[in-house]
Structures are given as C-alpha cells and as structure tokens.
Amino acid sequence: MKRPLFRLLLGTALIALLGSAAAQTVRVGLAEDPDVLDPDLGRTYVGRIVFASLCDKLFEITPDLEIFPQLASGYDVADDGLSVTIDVRPGVVFHDGTPLDAEAVKYNLERSKTLPGSNRSSELAQVESIDVVDDDTVRLNLSEPFAPLIALLADRSGMMISPAAAEELGEDFGRSPVCAGPFEFVERVAQDRIALERFDGYWDADAIAIDEVVFLPIPDTSVRLANLQAGDLQVIERAAPTDLGIIRDDPDLTLPSAASLGYQGITVNVANPEPRDDPMATDPRVREAFELAIDREVINDVVFGGEFIVGNQAVPPSSPWYVDAYPIAERDVERARELLREAGHDRVAFEMMVANNPQSVQIGEVVQALAAEAGFDVTVRATEFATALDLWEQGEYDTFQVGWSGRLDPDGNIHSFQTCDGNLNEHGVCDEETSRLLNEARVTSGFDDRYALYEAAAERYLPNRHVIYLYHQQLFFPHTAAMQGFEAYPDGIIRFQGVTLD
Amino acid sequence: MLAFVAQRALTAIPTLLIVTVMVFGIQRSLPGDPAVILAGEERDPQVIAFIRAKYRLDEPIPVQYVAWLGQLARGDLGVSMRTGEPVSSLILTKLPVTVQLAVLSILVAVAVAIPAGAIAATRKNTGWDVAGTVVALSGLSIPNFWLGIMLILLVSVQLGWLPASGFVPFLEDPLENLRRMIMPAFVLGTGLAAVLMRQMRSSMLEVLSQDFVRTATAKGASGWTTVVRHAMRNALIPVVTILGLQLGTLLSGAVLTEQVFTIPGFGKLIVDAVFNRDYAVVQGVVLFTATSYIAINLAVDVLYAVLDPRISGSRA
C-alpha cells in the first residue's frame, strides 16, 4: 500500500519538476536599462522593446513596414481628413481584467495628451477631442488633417494601458504597468532585470508560445554576446558589427537583421544660438567640398566591416520615400579642392564632436583622414554623451556626429530637424519654404502627393548640407538556434508573436 | 563615556554638512543637463520644462540645496529621476549585493594570499618564492575588467562551466547565487590577494627571524608547528590591518567588476546614475557612503575609548 503511494508522490513530483523545467523562458539582453515603464512617460529606445511585450497598440507594423490594426480592428479617415474613426477590437481585456472598450481608448488618448510630462502630447497635438461613438468605436477629431497619425498610433502613442490601474496607481503606474499585451508585468529590479509572464487572457493567445520573458540590461556588447553564447540569453539587441563574424561562425546562433528606420550623419552648426561666421557655417560650397572629400563606403568598411548601409538622406536608399534625384555622391577630392578655392579658402579647420565610444571616435578619425586630403583640418572631440547633448543644445560645437533612431512615417525623420521651429533643429537652419513644404506634407494624404512634397523640400535642404547624412544602421538580433519564428523589424523592436523555443 | 560619544557624534554633523555641500556642488558643476538627458531622443521642450519644474532644476542651486536638506531632515532621500524608484530602496537592494561580493572577494584573497605568503617566506629565494612574487605582481598589474572579460570568454563561453554574468539573490537560490559570484569574487579577490601576499611574506620573514621562533625551534618544535602555530599567528597582525585598509579599495574596485559581470550592486548603481545625471541617486548614494564611513570611524573611536579609558578622559 505504501509503495504505490510513494510512486504516485514521486510521479507527481517528477511531473511538477518537468512542468517547471518546461516553462519556456526567453531571456533578452538589452544594451541599457529602460527608464520608467509608462508608455506616456517612457523616453528610451530599450523601453519600447519592453513595451512591445507588455502593451499592445491600436496599430502594429509588419517587418515590411505595413501598418495593420492590432487593438483596433479597422479605421476610417473622413474625406476632409479632419476626423478618424477607429473600430476597437471587441472582447479585449487588460491584465487586470478591465475591458478595453471605446471609453478606455478615449481615456488613454486623453491621458497621452494631458498627463504632466507626457512625451506623447506633441505627437497627438492635432487630436482636438475624442468622441465615444459606441462601445467599440471612437472618433478622433483633428484640428487639421495629420498624415502621420496612424503611424504614431502604431507606436507608444497607440499603446493602451488599463484606466483602472492608471487611476489607482497614479505616479507609480510606471513601476508596475498594466496593459493589454501578450505578457504581464511580474517584477523589476533596477539595473538587473524586468520579468514578464504570459497573460492568460491575451486576445491573441494563439500567437504566443513562450511562458516568460526576462529583459536584462547588459551594456557591454562583448559581455552581452558572451552571455548569448554561453546560453544564458536567448536573444540580444544591437550586436556590434565587429562581432558578426563570431556570430555567423557559431552553429548555435542565428542572425536575423533589418535595416534601421534611422540614420547617422554629421550636423553642422549653422546658426545656434546666433548665425556663425566660420566657413563651414556660412558657405554651402565648403560643406559640399566636405561631403565630396569623404567616402561613405570607406567609413562603412573601416568602422562597420561593410555591414551597414551608406546613405545621403534621412531615409535609406531602399525606402520608397528616398529622393532618387539626389543619389549618393562619389568621393571627388579634386572637385572638393576646387570648391574650397572657389569659396576663397586654402584650408578649412573645424572641430567635430563625437560621442566617446570606440565606434564614434573611429568614425571621427576616418572622416578626419579623408577630409584632410581635400584641405580640411578636422579636430575630433570625443565627448561623454550627456555632455555632448548639452553642448549641442547650447550651440557650443562646430559639427557633431549624431543620429536618429527613426520613425515609421518619413515626417518623423525630417520635420523636427528641417523646419524652422523644429524641436530638434539644433543646427539653427531656417528656410520658410522648406518648412511650408514639410508642414504641407503632414496634412496631405496619398503617397504620390506626399512624395512630391518631400521631394520638393529635399531639393531645398539637401544641397544646403547642414546635415550630411552618412549611413543607416543594420540592426542585428543574434539569437539561439533553439528559438524559432523570430523576425527582425526595422524599428528595432523585439516581438514574440510566433516565437517558439525548442 | 556617554558625553564622549555625544561629543564625537556632534562633530560628525559638520562633516556631513560639508559632504552634502560638496556632492551637491560638484554634481551640479558637471556639464550635461539632466532634464535634457531624461527627456530622451525626442527632447520635447514641454517635457524638458516639466522635468525641470518637477525636480526643481529651474531654481537657483542654493534653493535646491536647502530643499534637499529639508527633505533629508524628514528622512526622505528622494526618488530616481529616471525610473521613479525611491533612492532609499535602491540603496537597500544594491548594498547587500556589493557586501556579499566584497566578503567573497576577501575570502578568495585570504585563501590565496596567506598560504602563498607563508610558503614564499619559509622558502625564501627558492623557486616557490619567485613563483609567488610573479603571481602577486601579475595579480597587481592585470586590470580587473580585462581579467573579467577573459574569464567570461574562457570559463563561460569556451568551457560552459559557469554563467557569464548576472545575479540571483542568495535567498532565492543559494547555489545559483554562488555560481554567479565565483568569477567576480575571484577577479576582485586576486587584486587584493597580491597585496596581502606581499605583506604576509615580509611580515612572516620578520617573525621567522625573531628570538621566540628560534627558541621554539631550539626546544624541538617541528618546522611545521613553528610556522603555523607560532610564526603565522604573529605575522597575521599587520596583514589584518592591511586587509581593513583595503576594504575601501575593494568597494571602489567593485565598480568595474560589477560593470563587467553586470552585477546590480552599489558600484553599478552610482556609475549609471552619474552617466544619467540622476542627481537624486548620486546624492543619496554619496551621502549614505559618507555617513557609513563616519559611523564606522565613530564606532572605532568609541571602541578605542572603551579599551583605553585615557582616550576619553583626556578630552573630557
């Protein structure tokens, strides 16, 4: 009598053990520790990666950048462009059981607009009011047509959080967020880990096969890769191009990648805070000479092993928004010298600020060497990033090698930088006509009409070269071969829909 | 005695005040506007203004300082500007991690240095001595972060024996905790071991040449007994003193080791806070550290006074 009982107990224990061993956990190596986990307050790129598992959005994108409804089930833009009606997916609940209905969507969009310190309020500036049409329908009334709106609702502005939890937690919401995504929040240990577990009430439960996701911030790229190779992590973001050889040679690893939506370039301080009187600031011919003096392919080969994509615009050459009339210029030292002479200079000296990480310093050095042959004396100033940002804002720089992580709609890559009163116009350039064209592109719908406006604007700002676009990152997400169904997205966000572990 | 303790405690107050002024002043003289950093890539002017107002960054520095002192007086260290987590809870969760790392490192250092130093001394000018010196010198000269990365590549990636990095609390899973702490403790311990070993060797040599050792040998004690029971105990006294002095170095060395092994300890907390210009965290951590030092000094003073009443008597 005793033995069968013992066996039963043993069997139960074994099943329990196996059961726990079979709990599928994906551990993700992030390059930094995210900031506050509130989609309205969040400001970091890595934060967006965590949100993707935690908070579903009204709209989502495919790896090919097509937008489709996620928590929405469809939408309709009025003919005059002044209102957008969104159908809310029925039957969706938040992690705390609160139903996601039209009221909840209204609450979320209003919170994004009005929460003190919200980083989303400017994204939704054109949304004047929100009407609840019925339980499953909301209408967004706009002050003017706004083409990038749906693309913004496919990012943090479109993330839905539980109104009940938001009211209850107030300022503490970002420390224990409640959303409607595939995984719910378990715990966060600052600088150590963010743990999520599968949400049983997820509306698209069939798409999720794994049980837990743990995000671990590991800033050092070699250590991050070592952890992946040692099997402690299943996927990492931002692998260094110099490590790709090791990854490709490792039979246990797989290396999906996607071209980033962002760009990297050199910003020339033209008029921040006052118009400047050095040759780089005053004379477009000098900037053209500088562009002709550098070779983007060389930078890509030397610093990134040729793994990135060279480019000369705010969007990569592969983008439908790329302006074909301005292809990437070949390096031409002779012509560069000629232009400098025309501008009345024998040699031109200026400082280039770069972030103090090995890659950026290397870019600086390559640019320095190339430009020297054409008559530029570039001093590379490696600066700690927080300090560099400060100097950039204050206008205490000649040129700055800096980039942008990129947005789905081209407006997000261009408008803030090229319009006179753009948020990120830290170079002080202002052309009323460019601003007008870019503002019009925001309120125009239809690809062809918008493209024509972006092309016309590019014809004005590209030859001016106050931003010399250099390259676009290729985003690499090495993961263990045991993880299957993973896809790399151009927005750099890690999604677990369809991912399985062997 | 009570008067002595009270007097010593009172003198700690001006010291602490000076520390608060210094941490406040130095931090605010750093370039890099926390509001701009916190506002993130988009740097919306409205958001920057909101952050400035929320953390009083738009007020004159003396006003900010007084406000912070007032907050401290209520026992509130503030919240992290980046994540909103209270600074006190950050300190309380990070400190035990670093303390555990420090204790394990000392164990590693002592386990290596004491026997090695003793052997080097008893076999002076032999191959053992030279080997010990070489090992000690290498331990001193190899940077922690380099040794750390090399160990990760060898032990974790190539051999797959230990996890490469990360931390598991001891109470949650003691075995896993130790598996993850061995390498960082080894890295940190080797640097310390080198110093200790040199000290052990020289003080052992000194002790071995003293009369009582000769007497012990003369009375017929065996070589091993002489070394372990008589010489070693005496030789350890200066070593223990050095060990105490090295504690501070150990904690600062932990900063780099914690970065390499991504251990969420005190060192990593302050490094990340400085880079993010998370004023509240930096201020809280520095103040906490200073207070601990002062408290330890006070305890030592009191202890001296207990052991030697003349110390407190002379001041009363």
The closest CB to that of B264, out of A174, A189, A385, belongs to A189
Which residue of A173, A223, A424, A480 to mutate against B (max B Cβ within 10 Å)? Answer: A223
Task: Provide the shortest C-alpha distance from residue B47 to chain A (in Å).
Answer: 5
Give the whole-number percent of chain A exceeding pLDDT 70: 96
Q: How confident is the model at residue B172 (pLDDT cuts 50, 70, 90)?
A: confident
Q: Which residue has the tokens 């600062």?
A: B252
Cross-chain residue pair B83–A36, CB shorter than 8 Å: yes
Q: Is residue A21 over pLDDT 60?
A: no
DSSP state string for B2-58: HHHHHHHHHHHHHHHHHHHHHHHHHHHHSSS-HHHHHHTTT--HHHHHHHHHHTTTT
Q: Is residue A105 over pLDDT 60?
A: yes
Helix (H, G, I), strand (E, B) or coil at A236: strand
pTM of the model as a whole: 0.90
At residue B200, the pLDDT reads 86
Report helix angle B2-29 to B279-307, nearest 10.
Answer: 160
Considering only residues A1 and A372, tell me which one the structure prediction assigns the higher pLDDT: A372
**Across all residues in chain B, what is the average pLDDT?**
85
**Tokens found for residue B50:** 């909101």
Q: How confident is the model at residue B254 (pLDDT cuts 50, 70, 90)?
A: confident
Residues B132-153 have a mean pLDDT of: 86
Considering only residues B280 and B309, tell me which one the structure prediction assigns the higher pLDDT: B280
At residue A65, the pLDDT reads 94
Select the highest-mean-pLDDT range: A57-61, B73-77, B100-104. Answer: A57-61
Residues A304-323 have a mean pLDDT of: 96
Task: Please report the ipTM that was assigned to this predicted complex.
Answer: 0.86
Adjacent-strand bridge partners of A184? A197
Q: How confident is the model at residue B63 (pLDDT cuts 50, 70, 90)?
A: very high
Question: Each residue of B185-227: pLDDT tens digit?
Answer: 999 998 888 888 888 888 888 888 777 777 877 777 666 777 7
Residues A334-342 have a mean pLDDT of: 97
Cross-chain residue pair A35–B83, CB shorter than 8 Å: yes
H helical segments located in A348-479? 358-372, 385-394, 411-418, 432-443, 447-461
Question: Each residue of A399-416: pLDDT tens digit?
Answer: 999 999 999 999 999 999
CB contact A362 to B (< 8 Å)? no
DSSP at A398:
S
Q: Is residue B258 over pLDDT 60?
A: yes
Q: How confident is the model at residue B141 (pLDDT cuts 50, 70, 90)?
A: confident
Question: What whole-number distance in Å separates Cα of residue B85 and Cα of residue B80?
Answer: 5
Q: Is residue A51 over pLDDT 80?
A: yes
Residues of A with CB below 8 A from B256's CB? none
Q: Is residue B315 over pLDDT 50?
A: no
The closest CB to that of A232, out of B51, B83, B164, belongs to B164
Give CA separation, A478 vs A43, A411, B180, in Å.
25, 30, 23
At residue B316, the pLDDT reads 40
Question: Each residue of A137-157: pLDDT tens digit?
Answer: 999 999 999 999 999 999 999
At residue A22, the pLDDT reads 64
Q: Is residue A136 over pLDDT 60?
A: yes
Query: Distance from first CA to last CA of chain A, Å, rounded?
Result: 40
Among A72-86, A225-239, B129-143, B204-218, which stretch is predicted with the lowest mean pLDDT? B204-218
Q: Is residue B108 over pLDDT 60?
A: yes
The closest CB to that of B90, out of A175, A190, A232, belongs to A190
